[in-house]
Amino acid sequence: MQSGDFHFRFHAANQRERPWAPGNRSPEHRHSFWEIGWIREGEAFWHLAGDKAGQGRRKLRLRQAEAVVVPPQCYHYEEPIAPTSFAWIGFSVPAAELTGIPLGARLRAAPVLADLSSLLNQLDAEEKYRPAFHAERTALLLRELLLLLRRVAQPAPLRSPAESRPATAIEASRDYLQRNIREELTIEQVARYHGFSLSHFEVLFSARFGETPKQFQQQCRLRAVGEMMREGIRSPKLLAAALRFNDAAYFCRWLKKWTGLPPSRYYARLQSSGSTSA
Q: Write out pLDDT tens, residues 24-45.
A: 888 888 888 888 888 878 888 8
What angle (nearest 5°) sits at the alpha carbon of residue 133, between those of residues 33 and 144? 50
Identify whether the C-beta of residue 36 lies closer than 8 Å to the C-beta of residue 12.
no
Can you give the pLDDT at residue 266?
86
pLDDT lower than 50: segments of the chain:
1-6, 156-164, 275-278
Quote the CA–CA distance of 97 and 143 in Å, as a whole number: 9
Can you give the pLDDT at residue 3?
32
Identify whether the C-beta of residue 180 lies closer than 8 Å to the C-beta of residue 143.
no
Q: What is the pTM of this model?
A: 0.50
Can you give the pLDDT at residue 112?
60
Can you give the pLDDT at residue 118?
65
Q: What percentage of residues in the chain have a pLDDT greater than 90?
A: 1
Quote the CA–CA distance of 260 and 201 in Å, as a whole number: 29
Show Cβ contacts of residue 105 under 8 Å, excluding neighbours closer than 6 positions: 60, 68, 69
